[in-house]
Structure formats: C-alpha cells, structure tokens
Structure 1
Amino acid sequence: MKASNKILFVVNAPEFFLSHRLPLAQAARAEGHEVHVASALGECAHKIEDHGFTHHIVPFARSGQNPLNELTTLFKLVGLFRSLKPDLVHLVTIKPVLYGGIAARFSGISAVVSAVSGLGTVFLASSVVARVRMWLVKRLYAAAFKQKRLAVIFQNPDDRDTLLSLVALDSSRTRMIRGSGVALGEYLCQPEPAGTPVVVMAARLLRDKGVFEFVQAAEHLVERNAAVKMRLIGSPDPGNPTSVSEHDLERWKQAGVVELLGYRTDIAEQYAAANIVCLPSYREGLPKSLVEAAACCRAVVTTDVPGCRDAIIPDVTGLLVPVKDPVRLADALQSLIENPVLRKKMGREGRKLAEEAFAIERIVAQHLQIYRELLES
C-alpha cells in the first residue's frame, strides 16, 4: 500500500457518517491517506468539513420512489468517481452500496468496500409489490458486487448468509465486523439510578424499530401496576413510509404511558439515568444503541431477530423476546424491573462484552486491515 491513497466514504446522510464512521475516517487520515466524504446535504453536513474532510454532495433521496431521482443519484456518483479518482471507495448503507457499487464498475475504481449494515425491510415483506422490489434489489446487489477488488462487510451472519444465498457473491470476499464500535471512554459504566426503574428506547421512530410494541408494552405494564417509567428517545422520519406520525405522538403524549424525549445526542447520559435499555426492532445490522447500552452497563431487552440477538449474549447481558409481541416484551421488562440483582449482573457482563468485542479501537483496526488488503493486492 502506497504511503497515501485517496479514500472516499459514500453514505446516505451526513449525520450517519458522523455517528458511525467518523473515527474510522480520522484513523485513515492519521495513516496518511487523503479522505473524502460523499453524502446528501443535511443540517450537519458542515461538520464533516469542520473535521477537516472534503465533503461532496450526492442527492440520496430518503424514500426512493422516483426512478428519475434514483438515476440522477447514480449518474452523480459516476461523475464524482471519475473526477475524484479515489483509490478506494467505502460504501455504507443500502443505497450507497447498490448505486455506488454500480458506479464504481463504470468508473474503473480499483478497490471497493461495501458495508452491509442491515438488509432493511425489503427482505421481510411478502406483498406482491414487495416481492417485485426484492427481485429488483437482488439484481442490483449482484451488479454492485461485480468488482475486481471487493470486500463486503457484514455485521451479523444472518445478513451474510441471506445475501450469499440470493446473490452471486464469493464467500471469500465477505468479512464480519460486529457493528460500528463504541468509545468506551465516553460511554462509562455507572451505577444504576435510585428510585423507580427506568426503561429507555432510543431509535428513529419507525414502525420497523418496534416503537408501537414498546408503547403497547408500556400499556401492559401500567395495567399490571408495575413500578416503571418508560422513556422513548427519537424523532419521526417523514421521508420513511414506516415513520410514526405526529398524530401517533400526540396520542401517546395524551395517554401518558411513555415519556417522549424527542431527538437527543446525550445518549450516554440518558442510559446512565436508566436501568434497562429496550429495542424491539424487526431486523437490524448490529444496532449501535445496544452496543452503547452494553458499554454503559445496562441490561438489554431486545427481539430475537438478526442483528439484535447478535448484539447481546442471551440470558447473560440481556433477554430476547419474539418480534412483534408486546405481551412477551412486557413480561421480559417486568422480570428485570422486579429483579435488580439480575439486571445489574447483566449490565456488568454487558460491559465485558463491549470491552472484548465492540471497542472502537478494535473495530477501526479491522477496517484498516481490510483497506490494506485491497490496496496492496
């Protein structure tokens, strides 16, 4: 690998780069590489340049319902790749992986890293329209993975095995890295707060994240007279068809069974003020919220689905429940609410897991090794 290579990160939104890939980009720059970032324009896009990286705007649409917009994104990527001529592109999340992979083929990019941080809900739906969409997505993946030098990073084995079974992808090109990592010095293991136990869920307010099941579980716990405070952190995503509505939020606010904290950036502080972290998602890559919960010594209740089950050690650092089952979710939460000794033990084990598997230094080192392999081959 030459002393300095030009590396381009392609992500759908600037806030995702800042929350999930910034330490990696900084480490690559520290090794002497020239680092660029391409994303849609967002409110915090200027922060990318504040960190010293060159930012390129690519119009990634959130909904993806307009074919003309999608083609425009693809052509913009081709133009960017041809003008910038990066030695390696690192594509993160679904649209950058699909469109960026195809653009790389047209642009003669030497090395491609595709990070599949979750397959999304397209592989869960069963309607006729959804099956047609899945057929198209499979073919886009197959086209995007036809690279001379390629590494496809998965965060859990289920996603890897699913794509290997559906797409012409050589298993030797796959890599497994468990999530985006956590800065252990920022997410500290602190004692649980005294008083009424607090359960917190932090996520985008989407149906697929299990938000409705979380609220329904809270209703069950109220009916059982359980001593608990349920807190929901996050904001709606109007560009996503599964987003909760303002009507939903107003209804929940009036009912008063959950505290709505809105979008927050102080997640470490919010977890420190809680006793249990919950994420009843339908499917994930490897959820950062659960990695952060482990680092903060908090027991977890999550669903037995790809990604979520890979972020915990079942019955050691947390509990698994069936997906879309608010009654079983309430049961698991109640068991930890009423057993502080067990949940504190799970929290300590979670911290050990975070130190062994999720430390940001470990995750960054694994990525840099992949860069070296591709750039030296």
Structure 2
Amino acid sequence: MTNRPRVVMVANRDSFFLSHRSPLARGARDAGMEVVVAAGDTGGGRAIQQAGFEFVPLPVTRGALNPLSEARTFAFLLQLYRRQQPLLIHHSTVQPVIYGSVAARLVCDAAVVNTISGLGYVFTSDHRAAKALRPLLKRLWRMALSHPRSRTIFQNPDDRADFTRMGLVHQDVSVVIRGSGVDCAAFLVAPEPAGVPVVVLPARMLWDKGVREFVEAAHLLRAAGREARFVLVGAPDTGNREAIPVERLDAWTREGPVEWWGHRRDMAAVLAGASVVVLPTYGEGLPKVLVEAGAAGRPIVATDVRGCREVVRPGVNGLLVPARDSTALARAIERLLQSPELRARLGRAGRLLAETEFAESVVVRQTLAVYRQLLDGRWPAVEGR
C-alpha cells in the first residue's frame, strides 16, 4: 500500500479487465493513483500482478442466478471497500455495478464510476425468463446508479437514452465515452493476403452475436458460387445463457459452411489475414473488435444496431445491414468480395477513424476527466497531473 490516492477497479472477469480496462489502469497509475483490481479469477490474475497492480480475486458466478452466490459477491465487496477505503471505485459489468455501488454507499465515502457496456441479456432477449427479471433489474439499476457522488459512463447514446427514459439514471450524471480504446500500434496495416478471401466473425460464440445468420450467409454465398473462407473466431463462453454448444460449432465445421478456430490470442494476426470482418450482432455497448478491425485496415460488415452504429460509417469504413437478416448480410459480404478496391478504400478509412476517434489515449483521457470531475480537486496529486 502507498499514500497515493487509491482507485479500485472491479469487473466480473480478469480477462475483461485485461482486454478492456488495463489501458485505463495504466493511465490512472501514471496520473498518480494506486490501482487495485478486483475481478473473477479465470487465470489472468498473475498477468494483472505482473502489470504492477494489486489483484484481488472476486467471488462471482455468471449465468443462472443463485441467491447465495450473489449474496457472497455482495458481502465480499462490502469487506473489500471497508478494508481498502478507496477514494474512487470504477465498476464494469452488471454484477459489480449493482452490488458494488450499493456496497460503496454503505461502507465508504468513495466516488463511484459505473460503466454500462450495453443493455445486457435481460433487456435484449425475448426469452420469458429475461422478461420476468426486467422489473427487478430496473429497481436494482435505479438503486445502483443513484449513488450521490457518481457518474455513469455509457458506450453509446442509445443506451444512455434508454436508461434515462426508464428513469434509471439522471442524464446530468451520465456521459458517453465510446468504448475502451484500441492500441493502434498493435495492429499494423498490411496488404490483404493473396489467395482465397477470408471472411471472419470474431466474437464470443453466442447466438446473439449473429452467428446463426453468419452461417446462413455462408451457405447462401457458397450456393451462389462465391469463393471465400468463412471463419468463426472465439470461445463459446459457457457462463452465458446465449452460448452456442461446442457440438454445434464442431458440426458446422464438419458440414463445411464455416471453420471454427476457437479462441485466439493473436487477434492482430487473425485480422491481418482477413479480407472482411463481420459482426452481425443483435446489440452491443461498443464492440471493441470492430475498432480493432479498423485499426488493422480491414472493411467491416455489421448490423445496424446500437454500438455498431458508433463504429461503422456506411460507405466510409464499412457496411451496415438489418439485424437477424442473413440474406442482407450475404449481399453485403458479396459486395465486398467482388471489389478489392472497395475493401481497400473502406479499410484505409477505418484505420484513420481508429487513430483519431477510438485510440486508447482518447478513451483514457476522457475517462480520467470523469475521475477528476468527481474528485473535485481535493487530491492535487491526481488533479495536477
């Protein structure tokens, strides 16, 4: 421990912190803060410690609601905040936002920042269980986001408008910061590889990422004689209700319309080897993989839904299609497959947008400005950096 101002960053998984919050943690440390990370431990805790941050494993269960598990998570956050007495807490993902915000009110005087990364399963799914949970979740959101010294960060204006309309948060204590940023230096722009074009869908293997529509589009394009490889890149995420069974993914590979490569750590290489990057999702906060595709200089096909609209400028860096429409998806992919010149032009524009609007430095600067606003000049070691 040090005498520097302390910020605790909380997420449901260590992997989420490493992929989405580590640049912000470094920025906070460079601004004079001591950073403590609390997250579900899936094997990434050592990497967090090696990056120079204290890591606290968070007991959290994803998937089906278990009252005892939820109570354990809440009790742990109470103890953590009582022990750490941070000056600021930044929650990401649903359980930390809800339980952490309430815990903070009870045991410490910390300022609270909550990042909302999309509406989530309960608000976007048509399943009966999801609809039944909505009234309860609305009450919990309202309680969590009413912390008297807090700011709520949304990743797109649609989510902010919906939360405001439902009375879950006041607009004057919320802000839109688009995404988590991308390290453009990690994605070098290279010429598209020669040979058969590769069309990639990089995402967690969830039904609501539009994987079914991608497979159907691949079927349509193969039937039309279009030569291309259609590749799924990502793990199923078994803790998510929308997870696609591994057996189904393996069957698609055997049947031939697509290839499933599983989880890949070398996403820069995957994107460099792609001709087109596709995300037919039903809704997002702000999909980082589309920003990474732009940084790699690759054209995008995505659905015209919240989050994707923030990244894709139609005809500039990509194409937008209606959600749940495999025929429209196939037509958009086909348009790009037919024109290497169009792919190159969209890719160049995507790289420029990544550098100017979605770079890590931009997002970190905007988020630290929220921190400083909440700290209100009371800690010059932070404010003066």
The structural deviation recorded for 1:259 is 1.6
Q: Deviations over 1:62-104 (max 9, x none)?
A: 1142111111111111111111111000001111111111111
SS in 2 for 1:370: helix
Quote the residue 2:382 is aligned against: none
Does residue 215 (structure 1) correspond to residue 215 (structure 2)? The answer is yes
Match of 2:366 in 1: 366
The residue number in structure 2 matching 1:36 is 36
Match of residue 94 from structure 1: 94
Give per-residue Cα distances to partners, 1:277-333, cap 9 Å, x unaligned.
000111100000000001111110000111112111122111111111111111110
How far is 1:185 from its partner? 0.8
How far apart, CA to CA, are the structure 1 residues paired with 2:370 and 2:124? 30
- Give the deviation of 1:360 after TM superposition: 0.7
Residue number in structure 2 paired with 1:286: 286
CA contact (8 A) 2:123 2:134 kept: yes
SS in 1 for 2:261: strand
The alpha-carbon deviation at position 160 of structure 1 amounts to 0.4
Checking the alignment, whether the CA contact within 8 Å between 1:153 and 1:174 is kept in structure 2 is yes
Q: Any gaps of 5 or more consecutive residues in structure 2?
A: 378-385
Does the residue aligned with 2:204 lie in a helix, a strand or coil?
A: coil
Amino acid corresponding to residue 142 of structure 1 in structure 2: R
Question: 1:99-114 alignment to 2 at 5 Å?
Answer: 99-114=99-114
TM-aligned CA distance change 1:349 to 1:74, over 3 Å: same
Distance 1:168 1:281, change over 3 A: closer
What's 1:63 paired with?
Answer: 63
Matches within 5 A, 1:1-377: 4-376=4-376
Q: Secondary structure at the match of 2:186?
A: coil
CA distance in structure 1 between the aligned counterparts of 2:168 and 2:296, rounded to whole angstroms: 40
Secondary structure at the counterpart of residue 282 of structure 1: coil
Q: Residues 216-272 of structure 1: CA distance to partner in whole angstroms, max 9, x if unpaired?
A: 111111111101111111111122121111220221121122121110011111111
CA distance in 1, matches of 2:309, 2:44: 32
**Does the 8 A contact of 1:90 with 1:114 survive in 2?**
yes
Conserved 8 A contact 2:277-2:293: yes
Q: Superposition RMSD on alpha carbons, in Å? A: 1.3
Contact 1:11/1:91 (CA < 8 Å) preserved in 2? yes
- Give the 3 Å change call, closer, same or farther, for CA 291–15 of structure 1 in structure 2: same
C-alpha distance in 1 between matches for 2:11 and 2:234: 21
Shift of 1:127: 4.6
Deviating more after overlay: 52-61 vs 8-17: 52-61
Provide Cα deviations, 1:156-190, integer angstroms capped at 9, x if missing partner. 01100010011342211111111110111111222
Contact kept, 8 Å, 1:121 with 1:283, in 2: the verdict is no
C-alpha separation between the residues in 2 aligned to 1:20 and 1:44?
Answer: 13
Q: Secondary structure of 1:192's partner?
A: coil
Counterpart of 2:341 in structure 1: which amino acid? Answer: V
Do the aligned partners of 1:141 and 1:167 also contact (CA within 8 Å) in 2?
no
Take 1:334 and 1:249, find their aligned partners in 2: how far apart are those partners?
23
Query: In structure 2, do the counterparts of structure 1 residues 150 and 336 end up closer, same or farther at CA, with 3 Å as the change threshold?
Result: same
* Contact 1:94/1:119, CA 8 A, preserved across alignment: no
C-alpha separation in 2, matches of 1:119 and 1:78: 26
Question: What's the CA shift for 1:132?
Answer: 2.2
Q: Which string of whole-angstrom CA distances, capped at 9 and with x for unpartnered residues, describes residues 35-62 of structure 1?
A: 1000111112211111111111221111
Q: State the 1:355 CA deviation.
A: 1.3
Letter of the 2:79 partner, please give it. G
1:64 and 1:70 in contact (8 A); partners too: no
**Range that drifts further, 274-283 or 167-176:** 167-176
Q: Secondary structure at the match of 1:306?
A: coil
Larger CA deviation: 299-308 vs 40-49: 40-49
Q: State whether residues 250 and 260 of structure 2, in contact with CA within 8 Å, keep that contact through their aligned partners in structure 1.
A: no
Secondary structure, counterpart of 2:201 in structure 1:
strand
- The AA in structure 1 aligned to 2:339 is N
Residue pair 2:85, 2:110 contacting (<8 A) in 1 also: no
Q: Which consecutive aligned stretches of 4+ in structure 1 deviate over 4 angstroms post-superposition? A: none
Paired residues, number:
375
Could you tell me how far apart the structure 1 residues matched to 2:32 and 2:148 are? 25
SS at match of 2:333: helix
Identity of aligned residues (%): 44
| SS, match of residue 178 in structure 2 | coil
The CA distance in 2 between the partners of 1:235 and 1:6, in whole Å, is 34
Give the whole-Å Cα distance in 1 for the aligned partners of 2:219 and 2:78.
50
Contact map agreement 2:121 2:130 (CA 8 A) in 1:
no
**Unpaired segments ≥5 residues, structure 1:** none
Provide TM-score, normalisation by structure 1.
Answer: 0.97
SS at match of 1:268: helix
2:45 and 2:57 in contact (8 A); partners too: no
Q: Is the 8 A contact 1:139 1:167 kept in 2?
A: no
Give the aligned residue type for 1:288.
K
d(CA) in 1 for partners of 2:103, 2:208: 30
